[in-house]
Amino acid sequence: MTARVAVPIFPGTNSEDETVRALQAAGLDAEAVHWSRGGRALRAFDAFVLPGGFAYEDRIRAGAVAAHDELTEAIVAAADAGKFVLGICNGAQILLEAGLVPGTGPIGRPTAAFTPNRNGGRFLCRHVYVRLGVAPERIPALGGLPREAVIPMWAAHGDGRLAAAPDELARLDADGYVAFVYSDASGRRIPAPQGSALDCAGLTNAAGTVVAIMPHPERDAWTFMQRDGAAKLRARGATQAMLAPSGGSLFFTAFAHALRGVVAR
């Protein structure tokens, strides 16, 4: 049985198509769900991936309005029941605003946030690598990832700097909430390009069932999306080669691997 994954669309979401395709390429039954369908429409799904964009135009704060949306309430309930939830970029900001990640406080009372980048919130758009910051077993939602996996992605955000109170940051670091850190291609940790605390690119919750990551794995999921032109040059003129999976697809195949274990139970 194939796991069904919902990709919620809020007003202003803009990455749903490529997210759905990346999930489908990983063998999942993925479907975009428009906000007008309401929270009930999400009941039939096994997992959720909140895509990137600018939900509600980032009014008030990035992710703040969507965090109180009816769809998000349904996702919070599903996460509470143990279903896997991923958030990418704006989806990650929504999960933090909702209090699902890191989940160290009550729901709706965030204890951390992806805040405006240093240099006054200047938009960051560049290719990055992230490295799994914890043991794979710590994150059941991505349980298929190899130890210290390095994944290429594209960062595209104005609000990607993790911030929290100093004692909260210490707790996130010590207790393994930092799911991904920025790294170079070899996996060596590097300073976060936007000043994110703990060089954090992604956070998880205590159970490892919810993951919020700022860079976009779905934007490096096929060869034609790679930063490195060599593979693209080799594939030029060969459509199948251009559409071959790229490094970012690892994120989604790991998710699919984890979901296969859940659906089979």
As annotated, the active-site residues are 89, 216, 218
CB of 56 to other proteins, least distance (A): 6
Give the binding-site size for other proteins (rule: CB under 8 A). Answer: 23
Strands 4-9 and 29-34: parallel
Task: Compare residues 55 and 139 and give the one whose CB is closer to other proteins.
Answer: 55
Among 21, 37, 61, 257, binds other proteins (CB under 8 A): 61
CA angle 207, 211, 216 (to 5 degrees): 165
Does position 109 interact with other proteins (CB under 8 A)? The reply is: yes
**Helix crossing, 249-264 with 16-25: angle to 10°?**
60
What b/e sequence results for 26-39 when a residue is b if at least 16 CB atoms lie within 10 Å of its CB, and e otherwise? bebebbebebeeeb
Smallest Cα–Cα separation from 49: which of 264, 254, 265? 254
Among 4, 21, 37, 68, binds other proteins (CB under 8 A): 68
Does position 164 interact with other proteins (CB under 8 A)? The reply is: yes
CB of 10 to other proteins, least distance (A): 12
Among 16, 97, 218, 220, binds other proteins (CB under 8 A): 97
Task: Compare residues 56 and 222 and give the one whose CB is closer to other proteins.
Answer: 56
Q: List CB contacts of 152: < 8 A, sequence separation 6 or more.
A: 127, 128, 129, 185, 220, 226, 227, 246, 247, 248
Which residues contribute to the site for other proteins (CB under 8 A)?
56-57, 59-61, 64-65, 68, 96-97, 108-113, 115-116, 120, 163-165, 168
